[in-house]
Structure 1
Amino acid sequence: MKKSIISIAILGAMSNVAFAQSNVTIYGIVDAGIVSERGGKAGSVTKVTSGVGSASRLGFKGTEDLGGGLNAVFVLESGIKADTGESDVAGSIANRQSYVGLKSATAGSLTLGRQYTPYYNTLSQVADPFAAGLAGSAKNLFPVAGNNTRTSNAVVYATPSLNGFSGEASYALGEQSGDNSASRQMGLSVGYANGPLTARAAYNSRNNDTTVPAVNTGMGHNTLLAVNYDFKVAKAFFAYGRDKGQFGSPKQIDSNEILVGATAPVGAAGTLMASFIRKNDKLVSNQDADQWAVGYSHALSKRTSTYVAYAKIKNKNGATYTVGNNSEVGTGDKAFNVGVKHSF
C-alpha cells in the first residue's frame, strides 16, 4: 500500500513537471436572439436564432513554452447553434478554426490549418463598426462569403508589431487532383496601429477552377482599404473595397463598396453603432445596393451583453442582397435583432 502511494506521488510530480509550461484554455460564445425579417420572397420571418452578434462557438486553444521565446500554439473551434444545440455545420468537429503552429514574440507566427483570411480579418477588425455582426454586418454587401472568410489547408504567417506596423500573409492549397492552381487562394494584409489610429490594407486572390467536376470559372480578386480613428467621444470608420472576377453570393464580376460608420459610447456600459454601405455594380446590369444600419449594445458585465439592431437594404435594378447577421445571410431587405451574448 505504501509503495503504491509513493508511486502515485512520483507519477503526479512527473506529470506536473512535464506539463508545467503548457496552457490549455476552453473558451466560447453563446449568442441567441430574436430576428424579424421583412421584404423576402417567403414573406415575413420571425425566429429565435443563434449567432446574431457573434457566432456561437466552443473552442480549445493552447500554448506550450518551447524555450528561447518560442511557443507551440493550437486552436480547435467548432460552431454551434445556441437555439437548437446542433453543430452549425453537420458532420464537422472544428469547422470554424483548426490549426497548429509556432509563435515567437520577435519572429512572428507560422500556423497551418483552417484559418481566417487576411481580407476577412481586415473587414471585421478594422472596417466595420458592427464587427461583422448584427443586422448592420458589412458581410451583407462586402464579398466575404465562403472561402473569403476562412480557408482550409492554409499556411499563414503573421509578423510581430514593429513600431505599430504589422503584416499577414496566407497561402491556401487547392489540393485539386491534377491541377495545383485550381482552388488555390492567397491573401495579404499590411496594417498600422498607433494610439487612436488603425489602418489596414488587404488583398485576396482565389482561383475558382475545380477539377472534379472540371469547371473553369477563373480568378477572383478582392482589395480592401480600412481605417478607423477614435476621437474618444466617437470612433469613425471608413472602408473601400474593389472586386474583380468571379466571387461571392450573389455572383459578382466587377464592383466596389464604400462604408462610412461610427460607434459612440453611451454612459459607462453602452455602445451606439451606425453605418452606411454603398455597393456599386460596374456591369451593364448596374445592380447596385445601399444599406443603412443602426444598433446598440449594452454590457451587463465583462462577459455578458445585450443588443438591438436594425438595417435596411435598398436593392436596385434587380439586385438581391439581403440583411443577414454574423451567422446567417437573411431572407429580406429589412431586419430587426434583439438578443443576448455571453462569452466564457
Structure 2
Amino acid sequence: MKKSLLALAVLGAFAGAANAQTSVSIYGIADVGVKFDNGGSTAGRQWSLASGQQSGSRIGFRGTEDLGGGLSAVFTLENGFNIDDGTLGNGGRLFGRQAWVGLDSKALGSIKFGRQYSSVYNALLAIDPFGINMSGDAQAAYGYGIGKLDPIARSDNTITYATPNFGGFTALLGYKLGEQAGAFNAGSSKFVGLGYAAGPLNVQLAYQDTNALGLAVTGGLATVTNAIGLSAAGTGAVGAKVKNTFAGATYDFGVAKAHLAFGDTKLQGTADSTIRNYMLGVSAPIGADSVFASWNRVDLRDVANGKANQYAVGYSHPLSKRTNLYASVGYTRNDSGVRLNAATNGTSDRTALVGVRHAF
C-alpha cells in the first residue's frame, strides 16, 4: 500500500513538472464605436455602429510547451468577430485571423505551419501610424485596396521561417502552397520580409509574388470587388499574377515619430498594370494621450486621372492600461478615373469615427 502511494506521489510530481512547462493563455480585443461615412455608398450618408475600428475585435488562444534545449512547441488560434452584431469576421471563418502551429528555437529561429500574416502585412503594420486601421488605414490604400486581400494580408496553407533577432536584424521567409493537383505553382505565393529595429530607427522591407489572386486585369485596370474600391469591373482573365514590393521606415525623435513608406504593386494578366503607393505620417505623445496623422497617395500608373489621396488624423486617450477611447477623421480625394474608399469614380469620401477599445 505504501509502495502504491509512493508511486502515485512520484507520478503526480512528474505530471506537475510537465504541466508547469506548458502554458496556454486566452487573450483578445473588444473594439466598437460609431462611424459616419459620406461617400462610401451611392445611397448617401451612412451612420453605423462598427466593430474593430482601431483594432479588429478578436479572441485568441496561444500556447507554448518547453521541449528542452531551448526548443518550444508553439501555437496560435485567433478568431475575429464583429462585436456590433456578434457575427464571425474574416469571411465567417472560425479562426480567420490566425491558425498555426510550429517550433521555436531561441538560437535557430521559428518555423510555423498554417494561416499566418504575410511579410507585406507585417511591414505595413510596423510603419503605418494608424496601425492599418481607423480613417488613415494604409492597408486600404496599399495597392489600391489589394493590401486588404488574402494572401497579401493573411496567407493560408503557409510555411514560414523567421530568424532570431541578430542585433536588431530579422528576416521572414514564407511559402503558400496552392494545393492544386497537377499545377504546383498555381494558387501559390512566396514572400520575404527584412527588418531592422534598434534605438529610434525601424526599417521594414517586404516582397511577395502571388499567383491566381482572383483579380481581373484588362486594359490597364485591375478589378476585385467594389468592397475595396477598385475601378469599373473588367472582363480580363481571372487569376492575375501579383508582385508586391514595400519599403518603409520610422524614426523616433522623442517628441514625435516620423513615418515614411513606398509601395509598388505589379499586376500581370491579359494586360499589365502598375500601382504606386506613397505614405507620409507622424505620431506623437501628448502626455498619456497620443495623436497621429498620415497622407497616403495611390497612383494607378496605367489609368488616366488615376490618382487618389487619403488624409487622416487620429487621437487616442487611455482610461487604463487595457482600455482607451479613440477618434479619427479622414478625407479621400479621387481623380475622375478612380474611387478609393468611395462608391463611384471621382467621388470624394469623408469619414469620422469614435469608439472604445478594451484589450484582455
Structure with the bigger RCO (C-alpha within 8 Å, sep 6+) is 1
Q: CA deviation at 1:89?
A: 4.3
Structure 1 pair 340–252 and aligned structure 2 pair: CA distance change class (3 A): farther
Equivalent residue number for residue 128 of structure 1: 128
Q: What value does the CA root-mean-square deviation take over the aligned residues? A: 2.5
Q: Per the alignment, in what secondary structure is the counterpart of residue 135 of structure 1? A: helix
Deviation at 1:252, TM superposition (A): 8.9
| 1:255 lines up with 2:298 in the alignment | no
1:334 corresponding residue in structure 2 = 350
Q: Is 1:318 paired with 2:349?
A: no
**Could you tell me how far 1:10 is from its partner in structure 2?**
7.1
How high is the TM-score relative to the length of structure 2?
0.85
> 1:67 and 1:8, CA in 2 relative to 1: closer, same or farther beyond 3 A?
closer
1:219: Cα distance to partner? Answer: 1.3
1:202 counterpart (197, 206, 218): 206
In structure 2, relative to structure 1, the CA distance for the partners of 1:228 and 1:209 (3 Å cut) is closer
SS of match in other structure, 1:141: helix
Shift of 1:6: 9.3
Percent identity between the aligned chains? 41
Aligned counterpart, 2:88:
87
Give the drift of 1:88.
Answer: 1.4
Find the aligned partners of 1:38 and 1:306 in 2 and give their Cα distance. 23
Q: In structure 1, the residue corresponding to 2:49 is in which secondary structure? A: strand
- Give the number of aligned pairs: 328
In the TM superposition, residue 253 of structure 1 has moved relative to its aligned partner by 2.6
Structure 2 counterpart of 1:141: 141
CA contact (8 A) 2:333 2:348 kept: no
1:318 deviates by 2.7
Letter paired with 1:26: I
Q: Contact (CA 8 Å) 2:90, 2:97: kept in 1 or not?
A: no
Aligned partners of 1:104, 1:232: CA distance in 2, in Å?
A: 34
Distance, in Å, in 1 between the alignment partners of 2:309 and 2:213 is 31
The alpha carbon displacement at 1:246 in A equals 5.1
Unaligned runs of 5+ in 2: 215-236
1:289 aligned partner: 308
Q: In the TM superposition, what is the alpha-carbon distance from 1:180 to its structure 2 partner?
A: 1.2
Alignment of 1:1-344 (within 5 A): 13-39=13-39, 40-89=41-90, 91-125=92-126, 127-143=127-143, 144-147=147-150, 148-208=152-212, 217-245=239-267, 253-267=273-287, 269-322=288-341, 333-344=349-360
Look up the SS of the partner of 1:124 in the other structure.
helix
User: TM-score scaled to structure 1, two decimals?
Assistant: 0.89
Summarize deviations over 1:119-172 as a string: whole Å, max 9, x none. 1100011x2000101111112210312211001000011111112111111100
Per-residue CA deviation, residues 221-240 of structure 1 (Å, 9 max, x unaligned), is 01000100000100000000
Cα deviation, residue 42, structure 1: 2.1
Q: Which contiguous aligned blocks of 4+ residues in structure 1 show a shift greater than 2 angstroms?
A: 4-15, 89-92, 215-218
Residue pair 2:33, 2:49 contacting (<8 A) in 1 also: yes
Q: For 1:61 and 1:263, locate their aligned partners in 2 and report how far apart those are by CA, in whole Å.
A: 30
CA-to-aligned-CA distance 1:282-335 (integer Å, 9 cap, x gap): 0043421001100001111111111000011101123111079xxxxxx97111
Residues 46 and 177 from structure 1, CA distance in 2 versus in 1: closer, same or farther, beyond 3 angstroms? same
CA contact (8 A) 2:140 2:148 kept: no
- AA of the residue aligned to 1:188: V
1:93 CA drift (Å): 1.7
Letter in 1 for 2:341: T
The 1:57–1:203 alpha-carbon spacing in structure 2 relative to 1, beyond 3 Å, is same
- State the AA in 2 paired with 1:253: S
* Local SS of the residue matching 1:86: coil
Alpha-carbon distance in 1 for matches of 2:10, 2:169: 49
Q: CA deviation at 1:61?
A: 0.2
